[in-house]
Amino acid sequence: MVKVKVIERPVPTVSTEIYLKEVLKGMGVSAKHFFQGITTQKNLVTTQYPEEKRPYPKRFRGHHRLMKREDGSARCVACYMCATACPSHCITIEAGEREEPYIQKYPRKFEIDYLKCVFCGFCVDACPQDAIRMDSDKHRIPAYTRQDEMAGNIDLLKLGGLSQARQGGKWS
Amino acid sequence: MNWNIVLAATIKWVFMVLVFGLGVAGILTWVERKMSAVIQDRVGPNRASILGFRMLGLFHPLADAIKAFTKEDFVPDGANRVLFFLAPLIALVPGMLAFAVLPFGPGDNLVIANMDSGIIALLAITSFGIYGATLGGWSSNNAFAMLGSLRAAAQMISYEVSMGLNLVGMFMVFGTLSFSQIVYAQGHLLGGWLPEWGIVVQPLAFILFMAAALAENKRAPFDLPEGESEIIGYNVEYSSMRFATFFLSEFFEVVLIAAIVTVLFLGGWQIPWLDPKGIAGGWIRVLQVGAFVVKTLFVIWVMMLARWTLPRFRYDQVMKLGWKIILPLSLLNILVTAIVLAML
Ligand code: SF4
Ligand code: SF4
């Protein structure tokens, strides 16, 4: 049996039909808010934006950042998983070869096109190396040219930090 | 022609209409925004500043004026240019003229034209206000504007009738058509203590007149001619100062209606139990003018409160309210008044 929630409709009474009393009641509510508003600033819902900023929620997905190894190079191993997961195909990776025998690749170019990115966070979930994150607490700031909307690996590394996660791989 | 009279009338006109009327109307553009904000628990406009002083956003009307003056003055293709240019003025001027018959204080000096047929003159002049909205919408060659102006015409003509009929009860009670005489009569005390204000002797007429007056000046809950969310209204094609003129005329009408309500129903310049004959000059007279101003501002406040409380009526509801409820009630009011007066 499907349960149906029955909602009682308010029955019109003489006083609601005359309308005048309800009008006065409504105006009373407005007047209450008016006097509250001019005497106290307590109930304000406005954030005075440029001066006053709302704190971001803990899991806010902001500007991407590339995490670093101890020596300052990118943790990213250019596996293309993020680029594959990305629904808007906005990550461009060009792999370069590394000297160390046990890590083969590094991203010579790692570029995110912020005109396409939808900030879904799939890239972060896809990454096996904890190399890309979106917890920088920063907005992507709009730019004047299309070229400026591309964030390269240098910008992304600048925001990055050390990761506590153990890097995977056979010899690590 | 007696030039002294012309000069005196001009000076009075400048003070009453330009300084008081237009001044308050200008500030009302700020009050409207600020009051809506405060009622809705917001902050409201507060960014316009001069040298870093924000003054609660009081400079916004100034900024608006600068903006309105510097914007492009757009005339749509196929508009009737003459009427298009005239319409905002036609909307504004009748309100200014109507102020002439309202007494700001006792005596002949505080009213521009102390007419014996003040109420008739006022009704005649304010009826012209319709032309502004109607011609504005009609001349701008836009279907939405046309709709707005049709609504404006129908609505204003309907409510004009009941507005006039509600005043009939007033001058039956006070036995005069002159605003000054009505205000004097309201100084009379009923039973020795209750001032015989219009709202006391004609409470029903007061309520109906308020409703009709709100409808007459096209503000929420009767803002059908404008109806921002559906048709944008008769002034949709207007830009720059012409639009601002329409806007100003709307606020000016608010001031005018508030002043009329004050004079007719709230005792005008009368302060209860203080100098009802208006013979004491000096500071008492200043106080009395002050009382008129304060009462007018209070009525404006109430009208603003109504505007930010009530949702807009549907169009057929407006017509139904006007013709089927307010009009019969006004007639009933006249009938009852007549019977009571005949029995007294
Ligand atoms: S957040 Fe989403 S859209 Fe943006 S780069 Fe990552 S996967 Fe692509
Ligand atoms: S950021 Fe992560 S998922 Fe993307 S290529 Fe580098 S290692 Fe692979």
Q: Looking at ligand 2, which residue's alpha carbon is closest to its atom 4?
A: A82
Q: Say if ligand 2 is within 6 A of residue A132 CB.
A: yes
CA A58 – ligand 2 centroid, Å: 23
- Non-local (6+) Cβ contacts of B267 within 8 A are B183, B186, B187, B195, B197, B198, B295
Å between B309 CA and nearest CA of chain A: 6
* φ, ψ dihedrals at B115, nearest 5°: -85, 145
Sequential DSSP letters for B181-223? HHHHHTTSEETTTEE--HHHH-HHHHHHHHHHHHHHTT-TTS-
Question: Could you tell me the domains of chain A?
Answer: 63-159 (3.30.70.3270)
The answer, yes or no, to whether any atom of ligand 2 lies below 6 A from the CB of A156, is no
Question: Which runs of E-coded beta strand occur in chain A?
Answer: 65-66, 91-97, 105-113, 132-133, 150-151
Going by the DSSP 8-state scheme, the letter that residue A133 receives in this structure is E
Burial of B112 (0-12, 13-18, 19+ CB in 10 A): buried
Alpha carbon of A15 to ligand 2 centroid (Å): 68
Nearest-neighbour CA in chain A from B31: distance (Å): 12
Q: Does the CB of B63 have a partner CB in chain A at under 8 Å? A: no
Predicted confidence pLDDT, tens digits, chain A (172 residues): 788 999 888 888 887 777 888 888 999 999 999 998 888 877 788 888 888 888 888 888 888 988 888 888 888 889 999 999 999 999 999 999 988 777 888 898 899 999 999 999 999 999 988 889 888 888 888 889 888 888 887 778 778 777 777 766 555 5
Q: What is the mean pLDDT of residues B208-214?
A: 88
A46–B42 C-beta distance less than 8 A: yes
Establish whether the linkage from the previous residue to A101 is cis, with ω within 30° of 0: no
To test the contact with chain B by mutation, choose from A27, A29, A30 the residue with the greatest count of B C-beta atoms within 10 A, namely A30
Q: Mutating which of B34, B40, B300 best tests the A interface, going by the most A Cβ atoms within 10 A?
A: B40
- CA B52 centroid distance within chain: 35
pLDDT of residue A168: 61
The binding-site residues of ligand 1, defined as CB within 6 angstroms of any ligand atom, are A 85-88, 90-91, 112, 117-123
Ligand 2 pocket check for A134: Cβ under 6 Å: no
Residue with the two structure tokens 């000059």? B281
The ipTM assigned to this model is: 0.82
The count of C-alpha atoms lying within 13 angstroms of the C-alpha of B11, restricted to the half-sphere facing its C-beta, is 7
Say yes or no for a CB contact (<8 Å) between B41 and A26.
Answer: no
CB-nearest partner of A27 from B42, B43, B305: B305
Q: What is the mean pLDDT of chain A?
A: 85
In whole angstroms, what separates CA B184 from the centre of its chain? 22
Residue B108's closest CA among B260, B197, B5, B255?
B5
Q: Give the start-to-end residue ranges of the domains of chain B.
A: 72-343
pLDDT of amino acid A169: 57
Ligand 2 pocket, A91 CB below 6 A?
A: no
